[in-house]
């Protein structure tokens, strides 16, 4: 996490040995690198090589003849950044302001001195915001403003004073205070998401004490509905869902403990620092404490592709997407950053490099999706003890069932010849069975499966590759074809029946 806050202001990293190694008149880190970063790198870098040119390292500049060390007159770089004619715009940069005379003079001097470039230095495009951005400033105490005309009611809370100062700055004035009936409705909707009951409204109106408002707020905050209302918003932030998404979208039956944990955390007014720690490492900081461990459900409560893939490369992509989801959710939830942009390149707007992203990505490399019991050691022992007798009864009944089945099958097999003598039709052949009978007028033909020839106790799990019904006409027709208007309907597998219905009457 520290890597996200320890970013350098410039995307240029110079080894200490290089400091002061050049003449004071031109310094690469101070004078040349900022020129390339400001005017060139956005279009000329490894990820965006316009004109097949990158200015991230000196190698490309020298290899393509854009810079000839010691010979500025032969260096194309100077030719394209200077105007060909007075008053004309130079060829480069195509966008933004052209180089100033001082900048072109610095480039010329740098090339004249042999175009020194510190070893290992790679220039990168600066993000739109760096450490000077307001959101990255350390917290500091400021004296709340006291604008002219500040009402007494607005002076009680420092936040109100800042708001009122901005309103006056824009020429706006606050609305008049709400009456008590409106106030209690607003409080109830805001904190609970529910309207107050008529009795609650009347009780608030009747309370004339100076602490009536504070007591009303405390009563609403003490309600279990408060955590349900605001926990719902937090669950949206952390992308909580009770199914895994993707094409299977299976239901997660045991996702509810994390949901209840979030609601409970709001109702208990848990410190935000503790909530963050529990979300990211609850199993590490509170092993054996279910109310803490369950917080790490945050890491895996997003979408998850559980289909699986045998292709190692595709499996690696899926695994990468899983970790990317966790890294993105962490950045967006706790930092307010779309860190996922840095998966492919340094962030264009925030000071997050690809290195920062993969440092965060590696932090979660040990996280995997799966089920595990989250309970205290005492609860686990009690659960095991209560299950022991049930397991014993289950095993005893399973043995009794197996013995009964073996006895029944043996009795049936002993009378096979007697059963076969009663058959009015030949045995069904899995390769192909043909049945003929006198022509009849029928609308439906139904097949009933009594059992599988491979498992006489099962009526489901079979398949029919082909089914034909031929008419008794001079030129027989297969009326089981869809082209003849037929439609197949299969009952639920547990019933083990297959229905073939015909939409037209036919003679068989």
Locate all alpha helices (DSSP H) within 373-493, ordered by sequence.
377-413, 416-421
Let me know whether 420 and 485 are in one domain. no
Whether residue 305 lies inside any domain: the answer is: yes
- Asked whether the beta carbons of 11 and 98 are under 8 A apart, the reply is no
Q: What's the pLDDT tens digit per position in 187-217?
A: 999 999 999 999 999 999 999 999 999 999 9
CA 378/CA 382 separation, integer angstroms: 6
The C-alpha atoms of residue 217 and residue 236 are separated, in whole angstroms, by 25
Instruction: Name the strand (E) or helix (H) holding 444.
Output: strand 441-448
Domain contains 482: yes
Q: Could you give phi then psi for residue 475, rounded to 5 degrees? A: -115, 95
The answer to whether position 192 is within a domain reads no
Closest CA to 295 of 234, 251, 336, 243: 234
63 falls in which pLDDT band (50, 70, 90)?
A: confident
Instruction: Decide: helix, strand or coil at residue 125.
Output: coil
Residue-level pLDDT at 37? 78
Whole-angstrom CA distances from 185 to 195, 251, 267 are 6, 37, 20
Instruction: Give the mean pLDDT of the chain.
Output: 84
Read off the pLDDT of residues 453-464 as tens digits, 9 standing for 90 and up: 777 778 777 778
Tokens 């510190």 correspond to 118
Nearest to 344 by CA among 331, 361, 330, 332: 361
Same-domain check for residues 14 and 95: yes
The least confident of 133-142, 228-237, 285-294 is: 133-142
Per the CB < 8 A criterion, the answer to whether 279 and 238 are in contact is yes
What integer pLDDT is reported at residue 24 of this predicted model?
53
Residue 278: Cβ within 10 Å count: 25
When pLDDT is cut at 50, 70 and 90, the band that residue 492 belongs to is: low
Dihedral sign (CA 47, 50, 51, 54): negative
Instruction: Determine the average pLDDT of the residues in 430-444.
Output: 85
Indicate whether 491 pLDDT > 60: yes
Whether residues 387 and 473 fall in one domain:
no
- With respect to residue 172, please indicate whether it lies within any of the assigned structural domains: no
Flag whether 149 is in a domain.
Answer: no
Within this chain, do residues 231 and 359 fall inside the same structural domain, yes or no?
yes
Residue 130: its pLDDT value, please?
67
**DSSP reduced 3-state for 146:** coil
Under the banding of pLDDT at 50, 70 and 90, the label for residue 17 is very low
Rounded distance, CA 460 to CA 494, Å? Answer: 6
Q: Is 408 among the domain residues?
A: yes
The DSSP letter of residue 145 is: P
- Residue 167 is assigned to a structural domain of this protein: no
Whole-number pLDDT of residue 498: 36
- Pick from 176, 177, 175, 219: which is nearest to 201 by CA? 219
Specify whether 107 is located in the same domain as 33.
yes
The predicted pLDDT at position 384 comes to 92
- Please check whether residues 264 and 299 belong to one and the same domain: yes
Confidence class of residue 8 from pLDDT cuts 50, 70 and 90? very low
Do residues 416 and 474 share a domain? no
Q: Are residues 314 and 420 in the same domain?
A: no
Residues 341, 395 share a domain: no
Task: Write the CA distances from 476 to 479, 501, 504, integer angstroms.
Answer: 9, 19, 16
Between 9 and 401, the higher pLDDT residue: 401
251 and 337 share one domain: yes
Are 32 and 98 contained in the same domain?
A: yes
At 501, the pLDDT band (50, 70, 90 cuts) reads very low
List b or e across 60-76, with b for residues whose CB sees 16 or more CB atoms inside 10 angstroms.
bbeeeebbbbeebeebb
Are 353 and 481 within one domain? Answer: no
Instruction: Tell me which of 95-104, 121-130, 286-295, 497-506 is least confident.
Output: 497-506
Mean pLDDT value of segment 143-166: 91
CA distance 414 to 410: 6
Q: What is the span of the domain harbouring residue 484?
A: 441-507
Q: Which residue has the higher pLDDT, 494 or 233?
A: 233
The mean pLDDT value for 323-349 works out to: 91
For the purposes of burial, counting CB atoms within 10 Å of the CB of 395, is it exposed (0-12), middle (13-18) or buried (19 or more)? exposed
Angle between helices 180-192 and 198-206 (to 10 degrees): 130
> What's the domain count of the chain?
4
170 occurs within a structural domain: no
């Amino acid at each position: 996490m520290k890597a996200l806050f320890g970013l350098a202001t410039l995307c240029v990293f110079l080894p200490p040995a290089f400091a002061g190694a050049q003449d004071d008149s031109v310094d690469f880190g101070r004078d040349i690198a900022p020129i390339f970063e400001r005017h060139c790198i956005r279009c000329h870098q490894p990820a965006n090589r316009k004109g097949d040119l990158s200015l991230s390292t000196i190698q490309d500049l020298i290899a393509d003849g854009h810079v000839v060390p010691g010979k500025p007159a032969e260096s194309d770089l100077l030719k394209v950044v200077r105007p060909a004619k007075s008053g004309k715009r130079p060829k480069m940069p195509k966008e933004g302001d052209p180089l100033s005379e001082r900048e072109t003079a610095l480039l010329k001097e740098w090339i004249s001195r042999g175009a020194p470039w510190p070893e290992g230095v790679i220039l990168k495009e600066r993000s739109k915001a760096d450490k000077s951005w307001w959101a990255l400033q350390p917290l500091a105490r400021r004296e709340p403003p006291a604008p002219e005309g500040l009402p007494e009611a607005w002076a009680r809370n420092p936040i109100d004073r800042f708001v009122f100062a901005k309103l006056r700055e824009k020429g706006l004035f606050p609305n008049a205070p709400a009456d008590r009936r409106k106030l209690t409705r607003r409080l109830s909707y805001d904190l609970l998401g529910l309207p107050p009951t008529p009795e609650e409204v009347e009780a608030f109106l009747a309370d004339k004490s100076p602490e009536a408002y504070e007591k009303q707020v405390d009563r609403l905050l003490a309600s279990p509905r408060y955590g349900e209302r605001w926990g719902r918003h937090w669950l949206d932030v952390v992308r909580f869902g009770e199914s895994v998404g993707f094409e299977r979208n299976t239901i997660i039956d045991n996702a509810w403990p994390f949901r209840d944990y979030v609601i409970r955390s709001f109702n208990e007014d848990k410190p935000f620092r503790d909530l963050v720690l529990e979300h990211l490492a609850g199993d590490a900081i509170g092993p054996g404490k279910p109310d803490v461990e369950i917080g790490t459900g945050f890491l895996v409560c997003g979408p998850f592709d559980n289909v699986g893939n045998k292709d190692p490369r595709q499996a690696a992509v899926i695994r990468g997407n899983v970790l990317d989801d966790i890294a993105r959710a962490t950045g967006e939830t706790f930092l307010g950053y779309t860190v996922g942009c840095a998966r492919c390149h340094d962030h264009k707007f925030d000071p997050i490099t690809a290195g920062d992203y993969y440092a965060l990505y590696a932090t979660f490399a040990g996280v995997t999706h799966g089920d595990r019991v989250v309970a205290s050691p005492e609860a686990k022992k009690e659960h095991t003890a209560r299950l022991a007798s049930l397991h014993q009864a289950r095993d005893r009944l399973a043995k009794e069932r197996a013995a009964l089945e073996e006895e029944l099958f043996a009795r049936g097999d002993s009378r096979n010849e007697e059963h076969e003598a009663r058959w009015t039709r030949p045995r069904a052949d899995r390769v192909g069975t043909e049945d003929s009978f006198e022509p009849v007028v029928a609308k439906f033909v139904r097949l009933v499966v009594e059992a599988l020839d491979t498992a006489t106790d099962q009526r489901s799990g079979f398949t029919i590759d082909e089914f034909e019904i031929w008419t008794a006409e001079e030129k027989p027709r297969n009326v089981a074809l869809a082209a003849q208007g037929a439609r197949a309907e299969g009952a639920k597998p547990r019933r083990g029946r297959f229905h073939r219905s015909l939409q037209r009457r036919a003679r068989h």
